[in-house]
């Protein structure tokens, strides 16, 4: 048996379509478009109550298309977002183009904070699908938009995602650039300055993963000059020890230093993944030297 909300929604959709197709010598076309949008919105809300997400999305999308014709850009973007939120419940892939349309409009209108929020949402969708390349693009857009609104904390959160995912895709220069920017910015805030060490440590990990011990050594010196507390920190001591192990191509020493650090401060999954790459490179290099002997 059809739910009463669905029945009501269908009636409203039929009325909206009839309104759009109506024609009269009197009255303005703007009025009928407004009436149709109102009817589609009511239909969408009835579909929402019945959890008919796809049908609700279709109604919101109809409203968005009408608002585009009326050149009511803000209302069009709002309806694109409503449609995207409905589709995201059943098919996230189909929601992305609608978010993208809304983001473009919000940027044109100078609503960068709102654009950033939805760009971040798209980044999260791609992240869940493990499409890190696209996730990076949208997190970067979100970070840039948040920065333009001086939303420093939210911009930093998105930039960290860019750096973390870039490293996973072996784009270590981009990752290093992001982590160093985060670390430097953190030092300018009394609330965030203690996070600088973590960001600098992650940048150092990326230098080692890139197999560039000279860059790692130079980075340690530079970070110590930027943050006078870095040199005596556990993060710096770990980075120095790991860099020395890489210079010596000593995989066992590398593993021992990680074990000691992990017993005090647990490594997170990202750190473990990046450092495992470094250790594997050291092991392969040591194996190659043994074969030569």
pLDDT in single tens digits along all 293 residues of the chain: 788 999 999 999 999 999 988 765 445 566 788 999 999 999 999 999 999 999 999 999 999 999 999 999 999 999 999 999 999 999 999 999 999 999 999 999 999 999 999 999 999 999 999 999 999 999 999 999 999 999 999 999 999 999 999 999 999 999 999 999 999 999 998 888 999 999 999 999 999 999 999 999 999 999 999 999 999 999 999 999 999 999 999 999 999 999 999 999 999 999 999 999 999 999 887 666 555 44
- For residue 214, the domain's CATH number is 1.25.40.10
- Do residues 175 and 85 share a domain? no
Asked which of 44, 64, 89 is the last residue of a domain, the reply is 89
- For residue 73, the domain's CATH number is 1.25.40
Q: What is the pTM of this model?
A: 0.90
> Per the domain annotation, does 206 fall within a domain?
yes
* The Cα angle at residue 245 between residues 239 and 247, in degrees rounded to 5: 100
- Helices 152-168/112-128 angle, 10° precision: 30
Residue 205 contacts residue 275 (beta carbons within 8 Å) = yes
Boundaries of domain holding 49 = 1-89
- Helices 132-148/152-168 angle, 10° precision: 160
Asked which of 56, 89, 122 is the last residue of a domain, the reply is 89
**Best CA proximity match to 115, nearest among 156, 83, 74:** 74
* Residues contacting residue 162 through CB under 8 Å, at least 6 positions apart: 136, 139, 140, 143, 174, 178
Q: How many domains does the chain have?
A: 2
Using CA atoms, how far apart are residues 115 and 120, in angstroms rounded to an integer?
9
> Per the domain annotation, does 159 fall within a domain?
no
> Per the domain annotation, does 118 fall within a domain?
no
């Amino acid at each position: 048996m059809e739910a009463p909300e669905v029945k009501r929604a269908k009636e409203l959709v039929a009325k909206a379509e009839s309104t759009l197709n109506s024609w009269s010598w009197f009255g303005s076309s703007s009025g009928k478009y407004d009436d149709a949008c109102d009817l589609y919105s009511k239909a969408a809300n009835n579909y929402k109550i019945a959890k008919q997400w796809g049908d609700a999305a279709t109604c919101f999308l109809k409203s968005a298309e009408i608002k585009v014709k009326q050149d009511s850009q803000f209302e069009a973007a709002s309806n694109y977002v409503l449609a995207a939120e409905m589709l995201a419940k059943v098919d996230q892939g189909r929601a992305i183009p609608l978010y993208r349309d809304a983001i473009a409009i919000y940027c044109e209108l100078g609503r960068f904070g709102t654009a950033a929020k939805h760009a971040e949402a798209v980044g999260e969708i791609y992240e869940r699908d493990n499409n890190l390349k696209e996730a990076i693009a949208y997190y970067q857009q979100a970070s840039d938009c948040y920065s333009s609104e001086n939303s420093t904390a939210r911009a930093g959160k998105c930039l960290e995602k860019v750096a973390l995912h870039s490293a996973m895709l072996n784009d270590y220069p981009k990752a290093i650039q992001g982590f160093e920017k985060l670390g430097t910015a953190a030092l300018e805030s009394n609330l965030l300055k203690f996070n600088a060490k973590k960001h600098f440590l992650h940048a150092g990990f990326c230098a080692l993963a890139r197999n560039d011990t000279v860059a790692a050594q130079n980075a340690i010196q530079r970070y110590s000059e930027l943050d006078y507390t870095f040199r005596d920190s556990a993060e710096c001591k770990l980075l120095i020890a790991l860099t020395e192990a890489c210079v010596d191509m000593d995989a066992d020493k590398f593993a021992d230093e990680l074990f000691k650090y992990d017993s005090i401060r647990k490594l997170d999954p990202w750190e473990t993944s990046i450092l495992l790459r470094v250790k594997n490179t050291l092991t392969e290099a040591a194996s190659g030297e043994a074969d030569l002997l």
